[in-house]
Structure 1
Amino acid sequence: MKVLVSMNAFKGSLSAKEACSLVAQGFLCGYPEAVVSERPLADGGDGTVDVLLEALGGYPETVEVTGPYGDPVRARVGIVDGGKTVIIESASCSGLALVPPEKRDVYRAHSRGVGELLRWAALRGARRIIVGIGGTAMNDGGIGMAQAAGALIRDADGRDVPPGIPGLFSVASVALGSIPDTFRDIQVIGISDVSNPLVGPEGATAVYGPQKGINPSEIDAVDREMKRYAEILGRDLGRNPCDLPMAGAGGGLGGALWAFFGAKLVDGARFILEETGVLEEMDECDLVLTGEGTVDSQTKKGKVPFAVASAAAERSIPVIVIAGGLADDVIAEHPAEYSAMFSSTVRPMTVQSAMGVSRETLPFVAEQIARVARIFSLRFPSRSETSAGGVVVRRGPSGPELLLIEDRFGVFTLPKGHVDPGETEEQAAVREVLEETGIKACIKGEIGVTRYRFFDDLGRPVEKTVRYYLMEPLSENPRPQEGEVSKAFWADARQLSRYPTYPNNRAILEKAIRRVEELS
């Protein structure tokens, strides 16, 4: 059994790397024959620099910048690709964890340190700056960041607005200042662990303001000022981030990155999955273990466990979530993407106590999962199954077109099916194309092979191999197979991204397009 362990940090207790190591150790105790791969993850919050550096190579540097209350802090950044890419973690310079709970003051907290890091990265020659937006202490709409990077944000008297939330209340005009010159030809990417817009009931202030310390009676007033500030950004810069997804990340930092720097805002967990090659490794595994300190209904809005589970679900790979704590709402809902959920809190205890014993309980729970997996694997060994399919391509009015089907799960895919006894794979491929689409076709060559694992109706593992052939149509009008296929149609090869398909189909489709282009 090949197992991928991709954990996020257990905040205040374990780093992502430590969590992965403990889970892997526990699993191997219960299933010694397993092949376990450890791939720590982050989502744009604490630990982002370390995770990306470990996966991409490079080295860390420490930069002294202004902390959330004006005191100097030493922020850790990542340098990749010879300095062409710089990774910034907002939490390292403007983070909630930098200040003890009793000393936190969200009204004074600002994002100036993030802007200083951005400017430092630009001046040292970066061509791409990745900004992790999560884990911040402020709710200043990114004003401090923009000011430190060179923007002019003034009050009605033409003076620079003060730091923190008071700046929101006094802003009257904004201008880019020196930002265009400093950041010319630099790509800024904001990676977020949440999808919230800037304002409204799901916005930065309403959702995260209370946990940062905004008085509940003042939430509406602060949100109104955040909206007014966004409207000023729209008026003066032509970019209003009010309803922009992820603009509410980092107390409005996401919206400011977009408005002042033209940043691309992306789902942090998904970005890191893709950037680090974890998705390719996932294609080869039989089971995925993921988790973080707490899993609740908010985990679905950009956190690591849900991103990992969603990617695995696309590949029909089971995912087990191990969390320090499972909230009531996620227990009641049990998202379909999670094959199973476990808590590493094995007996009644306080949160602090649970954090203190996580190094013992996390591997223990992983070992119990492994023991069950081993029993099941030995009791029900996997069987092999071979299928064949066709990538049927024709020359359309505006370029190559591919024959696609929509299966009974609503996924667009390629026609394929079992190889019957006494039948060659080529014969099976031609037959399946005809049966599922009504199109007669002839084989022009082999495209490639995909392999994946799934579980049959009785829960037994099946190792599936599918061989695809490039085909030329001998008829024109598709007709879907009744009861099996919802649609069969010709799709513009340049528009394939419009059709959600299984990940292992993408490579096959791309190979087919390249082959057609070579032949034409």
Structure 2
Amino acid sequence: MKVLVAMNAFKGSLPASEACALVAHGFRQGFPEAIVVEMPLADGGDGTAGVLVAAKSGEVQHVQVTGPYGKPVDSPLGLLPGGTVVVESATTSGIALATPEERNVFLATSYGVGELMAVAAAQGARRIVVGVGGTAMNEGGIGMVQAAGGKVLDAAGRQVPHGICGLKQVSRVDPGDIPERFKDIEVIAICDVDNPLTGPDGATMIYGPQKELEAHQLDEVDCYMDRYGSVLARDLGRDPRNVPRAGAGGGLAAALWAFFGAKLVDGARFVLEETGFIDELDGAHLIITGEGRVDSQTEKGKVPYAVAKAGFERGIPVIALGGSLDDSVLRSYPRELTAVFDSTTGPGTVEQAIGMARLTLPFVAGQIARLSRAVLLSGPVARQELSAGGIVFRVGNGGTQVLMIEDRFGYLSLPKGHVDEGETLVRAALREVKEETGLDCEIVTYATPLMYRFLDSGCVPVEKTVHYYVMRPKGGELQPQPGETTRVIWVGQKDLKGLKTYPKIVEIIEKAADLLP
């Protein structure tokens, strides 16, 4: 069974790569036969640069730029093959860069984004990809424009100040040095939402409250943004107010579109294609995705929905894990998602949920894995297989010991294998013990059959019967079989309890020990 784990970052808690690793670990624990592929993703918000750099084998250059509230921040610039440079707004002008007490949306600026873009242009970038999600500001990208060489002026012809305070004063704009500085450079804004710049579904009305705008301030600030949009239309001939995705990043996408002619693209879809996620869907039986919060905005361009759409189109079930679930999700969620799970353990604060994520994510993934495996195993048996193996004992001063192998899943078991055509059970048992452990053995007596089910590579149940023989060693040296066993060890009979092994293995060892002469 191939399982694709495609997680977004859990904002304020886990990067996408760690979220993937935790979910994958939990699933492997519950479904050891599964082939689990980890695909960290992003949607233009937190972690976008890191995800793309890792997928493309690029490099990270750290640049000190102006943070959202004027203090310098160390921001990564993702350098990809072919002259593509990734600018991540979340690590430059992100809301997570300041404590709740420090945040002030009226002063928050995108200036650092423009500084990074200027560095990329000066270094010869041929394409600049700007992730616009996860920002602290709601100022229409005016700071970015100023830092990149453009002019955003007040009625007196002066550059407006940072933040909404500056947005309020916009009277005229001019591209300034931008056309020359960014000549022949393709700019792409990858957006984590599809909201327009203004209006009831615009940047201010929908995301202003998340950036601590009060309810009574929303209409006024949206009016500032609307007037700004009209100035862009008048001075640049490009009106972003009703353009889909122009509201991403507090209107940063609108400025990129108006001043740079940037393409505004679905961020999650862009990352899915750039990372090879679409190709990795081939042969997948299940996809697990998720992020810090699954809510009514998930369907607006977030990673879980993009992943769900891709899976739905190919008939692959998709499960979403959320650090928290909005009430709206409890009533209804997109049909492209097969199921949605809350990865928290119960009522608590956001801080508590963040602190527990490293425990809860693998736990929930493990439960999904165990349930999936149990359901698959209960299906009709496709075929039956016959195997033979040995329970090899030796007796010394330390008492009775049994020979055990560790398989590729980390479980201790007994050596066994398929009975070849025309081969007797006894010959097969002796051969398999030799191949998997390196020891030559002799038969003492027949022990017991063991019947169980497992899943083949196509997730189809197979019923296997293993005939075990009690044996004792007579020569050879302990040697794991490459590709089959990772180690071969002697285990004291008194140490069998608590071993990581398969059902009934300890039981049949103990019964076989009673057959020793």
Rounded to whole Å, the distance in 2 between the matches of 1:234 and 1:94 is 26
Amino acid at match of 1:262: G
Rounded to whole Å, the distance in 1 between the matches of 2:227 and 2:49 is 33
1:109-146 deviations in Å (ceiling 9; x for gaps): 11111111111100100000010000111111111100
Amino acid at match of 1:249: A
1:213 maps to 212
Please report how far the alpha carbon of residue 294 of structure 1 lies from its aligned counterpart in structure 2 after TM superposition: 1.1
Q: After TM superposition, list the pairs within 5 Å mapping 1:163-182 onto structure 2.
A: 163-182=162-181
Rounded to whole Å, the distance in 1 between the matches of 2:380 and 2:232 is 61
1:134–1:381 Cα change, 3 Å: farther
Rounded to whole Å, the distance in 2 between the matches of 1:263 and 1:382 is 56
1:22 maps to 22
State the TM-score, normalizing by the size of structure 2. 0.73
2:81 maps to 1:81: yes
1:363 maps to 362
Amino acid at match of 1:177: G
Q: CA RMSD in A?
A: 1.6
Rounded to whole Å, the distance in 1 between the matches of 2:254 and 2:84 is 22
Rounded to whole Å, the distance in 2 between the matches of 1:174 and 1:353 is 46
Instruction: Give the number of the structure whose alpha-carbon radius of gyration is greater.
Output: 2
Rounded to whole Å, the distance in 1 between the matches of 2:165 and 2:348 is 41
What secondary structure is seen at the aligned counterpart in 1 of 2:264? strand
Amino acid at match of 1:237: L
Amino acid at match of 1:86: V
* Identical pairs, percent: 60
1:251 maps to 250
Amino acid at match of 2:298: T
Please say if residues 85 and 120 of structure 2, whose CA atoms lie closer than 8 Å, have aligned partners that are also in contact: yes
Of the structure 1 ranges 6-15 and 375-384, higher mean CA displacement relative to structure 2 is found in 375-384
Amino acid at match of 1:35: I
1:296–1:381 Cα change, 3 Å: farther
Rounded to whole Å, the distance in 2 between the matches of 1:188 and 1:328 is 37
2:38 maps to 38
2:230 maps to 1:231: yes
1:265 maps to 264
2:55 maps to 1:55: yes
What secondary structure is seen at the aligned counterpart in 1 of 2:297? helix
1:238–1:360 Cα change, 3 Å: same
What secondary structure is seen at the aligned counterpart in 2 of 1:224? helix
Q: After TM superposition, list the pairs within 5 Å mapping 1:200-349 onto structure 2.
A: 200-349=199-348
Please report how far the alpha carbon of residue 346 of structure 1 lies from its aligned counterpart in structure 2 after TM superposition: 2.5
Rounded to whole Å, the distance in 1 between the matches of 2:87 and 2:114 is 10
Rounded to whole Å, the distance in 1 between the matches of 2:353 and 2:116 is 35
Note the residue ranges of structure 1 that are not aligned, 5 or more in a row: 385-460, 464-520
The number of residue pairs the alignment matches comes to 386
1:376 maps to 375
Amino acid at match of 2:121: A
Please report how far the alpha carbon of residue 334 of structure 1 lies from its aligned counterpart in structure 2 after TM superposition: 2.8
Please report how far the alpha carbon of residue 187 of structure 1 lies from its aligned counterpart in structure 2 after TM superposition: 0.5
1:474 maps to none
Note the residue ranges of structure 2 that are not aligned, 5 or more in a row: 384-457, 461-517
Amino acid at match of 1:39: M
1:262–1:380 Cα change, 3 Å: same
Please report how far the alpha carbon of residue 256 of structure 1 lies from its aligned counterpart in structure 2 after TM superposition: 0.3
Rounded to whole Å, the distance in 2 between the matches of 1:342 and 1:194 is 22
Rounded to whole Å, the distance in 2 between the matches of 1:462 and 1:289 is 17
Higher helix share: 1
Please say if residues 246 and 254 of structure 1, whose CA atoms lie closer than 8 Å, have aligned partners that are also in contact: yes
What secondary structure is seen at the aligned counterpart in 1 of 2:160? coil
Rounded to whole Å, the distance in 1 between the matches of 2:88 and 2:69 is 17
Please say if residues 382 and 462 of structure 1, whose CA atoms lie closer than 8 Å, have aligned partners that are also in contact: no
Please report how far the alpha carbon of residue 382 of structure 1 lies from its aligned counterpart in structure 2 after TM superposition: 9.1
Please report how far the alpha carbon of residue 152 of structure 1 lies from its aligned counterpart in structure 2 after TM superposition: 1.5
Please say if residues 91 and 135 of structure 1, whose CA atoms lie closer than 8 Å, have aligned partners that are also in contact: yes
Rounded to whole Å, the distance in 2 between the matches of 1:361 and 1:37 is 20
Please report how far the alpha carbon of residue 162 of structure 1 lies from its aligned counterpart in structure 2 after TM superposition: 1.5
2:142 maps to 1:143: yes
Please say if residues 376 and 459 of structure 2, whose CA atoms lie closer than 8 Å, have aligned partners that are also in contact: no
1:70 maps to 70
